[in-house]
């Protein structure tokens, strides 16, 4: 599947590797496996499984991409690896079983910031392990575009809750 555009964020073409929960492969061993399959969906969804899933995808817009967002907050463990020319340049470990303050960016979604240099081939490798539903809705962003989008969402939420509080106060005033 080609990368899907949506404003300034995009969903890359993804490959996956599904392994038994007790398989202890290193990132390099996972990359070298011949069992990678192309994901035919925009959003990886493996249902309820105890398997670990590895995802890999290229960064097709390196000049404007510097943030990965995973919007499903119930993943127990996520290992993030940024590969530059096949070598691990950056890694993060997070998940809902870790402290919120240990996330790379303190945000309700999982956010992974990174910096790219021109002239290199970049890929992202993710190892995901969870006891619940294995859904991994992800999107690559430019920092500015992402935070502009979340700013608008925050304003809409503020308006909604403002109207809700006004309605509650009005009803309390009328009926008490």
Global pTM value: 0.80
Task: Answer with the residue of higher pLDDT: 163 or 11.
Answer: 163
Task: Look up the CATH number of domain 4-141.
Answer: 2.60.40.2380
Q: Taking the C-alpha atoms of 39, 41, 42 and 43 in order, what is their torsion angle to the nearest 10 degrees?
A: -90
Euclidean distance between CA atoms 65 and 76, whole angstroms:
26
Quick check: 135 and 45 in contact, CB under 8 A?
yes
State the pLDDT at residue 168.
Answer: 92
Domain extent listing, the chain: 4-141, 150-176
State the pLDDT at residue 6.
Answer: 41
Burial of 146 (0-12, 13-18, 19+ CB in 10 A): buried
């Amino acid at each position: 599947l080609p990368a899907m555009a949506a404003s300034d964020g995009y969903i890359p073409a993804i490959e996956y590797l599904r392994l038994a929960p007790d398989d202890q492969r290193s990132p390099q061993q996972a990359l070298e496996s011949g069992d990678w399959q192309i994901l035919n969906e925009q959003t990886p969804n493996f249902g309820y499984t105890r398997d670990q899933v590895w995802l890999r995808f290229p960064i097709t817009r390196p000049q404007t991409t510097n943030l990965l967002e995973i919007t499903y907050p119930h993943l127990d463990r996520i290992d993030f690896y940024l590969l530059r020319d096949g070598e691990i340049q950056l890694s993060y470990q997070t998940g809902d079983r870790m402290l919120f303050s240990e996330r790379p960016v303190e945000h309700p979604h999982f956010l992974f910031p990174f910096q790219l240099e021109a002239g290199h081939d970049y890929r992202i490798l993710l190892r995901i392990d969870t006891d619940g539903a294995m859904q991994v809705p992800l999107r690559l962003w430019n920092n500015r575009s992402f935070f502009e989008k979340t700013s608008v969402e925050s304003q809409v939420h503020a308006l909604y809750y403002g109207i809700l509080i006004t309605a509650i106060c009005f009803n309390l005033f009328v009926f008490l």
